[in-house]
Amino acid sequence: MAQQLSLFPDGLTRRRALPVIGEQKDIRYHATRAREILNGPGTTGLDGFWSINPYVGCAFGCAYCYARYAHRYALERALAADPGDEALHETARTLPPWLAFERAILVKRNAADVLQRTLWYGADRYRDLARGHRIVIGTATDPYQPAERRFRITRGLLEVLAHHADLHVVIITKSPLVTRDTDLLARLARRSSVEVHVSLITVDRELARRIEPRAPTPEARLRAVARLHAAGVRVRVNAMPVLPGITDDPAQLEALVARVAAAGADAMVVGSLSLHATARQRYLPFIAREFPALAARYRATFARGHAMGPRYRRGLAACARELCARYGLTFGNDETAEAADQTPSRAARRSQYPASEISTSSARPSAPCSDA
Ligand code: SF4
């Protein structure tokens, strides 16, 4: 029997303490109650763009993830709401924020109820959403991370959405667990549009293990793409962020595009790396440790700003466009990636998670293919 590490506060859940999920024995899950679940354009910074994140924190622990910083604010809010929660205090005391992000996951257990209340027919928000606004699930943390297998918060949200019509729903994930909900996605697609974006930056399994240590393997993600495609769900692959000097070699990119096309994806989007201050604190030491030959170039590149230069980005986009055309994939242009690439204000950081999965556009210090 796995050792039990984490409890939901009895007053909230009246459940017995939770067992460890899978092999991830070092993760604690904390119940939290969301006041709002649908973040509107005011917080996402994009017209017509609404986000939902069922979990705060993400067990996949990608080295480049910059959603880490917002975890601290969420933890502070949870502690303010429940100052007597000893488990939360211990987390805040013992884990640095970047690590708490992947080891202390807040579970929005009332998410489906809050969404249902928010979307009652005739409500202003529902009218906006039915007019073509998009709901994106998983802009900051993965909605199908291991916690979802047990808590089913994302599934509960989809069940609510399936009761409405004329919505435009996008789900962003690295996990094949999304295929568990294929039935629900098909039901949702009868009255609304739905698209799954699977994030995948390399098909090199060993490389992926170094960069995204707890995320599903590339093969598992490609199998998920194939299953979704077979079920008639529209699926796009997000190759974001392309890591300079690590995953941006043209041969690597071609291998990725070829496998994505073979799996049946409808489209692909490629974005370069952005490193805001907190992500830099985590990612640059990771580069120094794992890819020491690149450390000096990374430091120099990101000393000047958080994003790769326009020449690099144009080169990367041109390369990806050419490869997608060669393999019959639609090359996507994602305006949400650009918007999320902006440094959020302090107030915005406190009020929402950043759009990590869709925002990390990024960086090899030279253009990956022929420079545009
Ligand atoms: S990049 Fe996405 S999957 Fe990886 S840790 Fe961040 S939120 Fe999770």
Residue 145 alpha carbon to ligand 1 centre in Å: 9
Determine the atom of ligand 1 nearest the C-alpha atom of 360.
Answer: 1
pLDDT at 122: 67
Using DSSP, state whether 138 is helix, strand or coil.
Answer: coil
In angstroms, the first-to-last Cα distance of the chain is 57
Strand residues in 234-354 grouped as ranges (E)? 234-242, 267-272, 330-331
Report the residue among 27, 139, 141 best suited for mutation to probe ligand 1: largest number of ligand atoms under 8 A from its CB.
Answer: 141
Determine the atom of ligand 1 nearest the C-alpha atom of 67.
Answer: 6
**Domains of the chain listed by start with CATH number:** 10-359 (3.80.30.30)
Write the residue with the smallest CA distance to atom 6 of ligand 1. Answer: 65
Task: Write out the two tokens for 48.
Answer: 């017509």
Residue 187 alpha carbon to ligand 1 centre in Å: 27
Residue 199 alpha carbon to ligand 1 centre in Å: 9
Ligand 1: list residues with CB < 6 Å: 58, 60-62, 65, 67, 141-142, 174, 215, 356-357
pLDDT at 210: 95
Write the residue with the smallest CA distance to atom 7 of ligand 1. Answer: 141
pLDDT at 177: 98
Count CB neighbours of 232 within 10 A.
10
Residue 238 alpha carbon to ligand 1 centre in Å: 13
**93 Cβ contact list (under 8 Å, min separation 6):** none
Residue 332 alpha carbon to ligand 1 centre in Å: 21
Residue 121 alpha carbon to ligand 1 centre in Å: 33
List the chain pLDDT tens, one digit each, 372 residues.
333 332 223 333 333 333 333 335 789 898 888 889 999 888 777 788 899 999 999 999 899 987 887 788 888 888 887 788 888 888 888 888 888 899 999 999 999 999 999 988 667 878 888 888 999 999 999 999 999 999 999 999 999 999 999 999 999 999 999 999 999 999 999 999 999 999 999 999 999 999 999 999 999 999 999 999 999 999 999 999 999 999 999 999 999 999 999 999 999 999 999 888 778 888 999 999 999 999 999 999 998 788 898 999 999 999 999 999 999 999 986 544 443 433 333 333 333 333 222 222 222 323 333 322
pLDDT at 237: 97
Checking phi first, is residue 48 left (phi over 0); if not, alpha (psi -120 to 50) or beta? left
Determine the atom of ligand 1 nearest the C-alpha atom of 174.
Answer: 3
Residue 339 alpha carbon to ligand 1 centre in Å: 18
Write the residue with the smallest CA distance to atom 1 of ligand 1. Answer: 65
Q: Give how far Cα 295 sits from Cα of 75, 240, 298, 302, Å.
A: 32, 20, 5, 11
pLDDT at 45: 74
104-108 and 193-199 strand pairing: unpaired
Backbone angles phi, psi at 39, to 5 degrees: -90, 125
pTM for the predicted model, two decimal places = 0.84
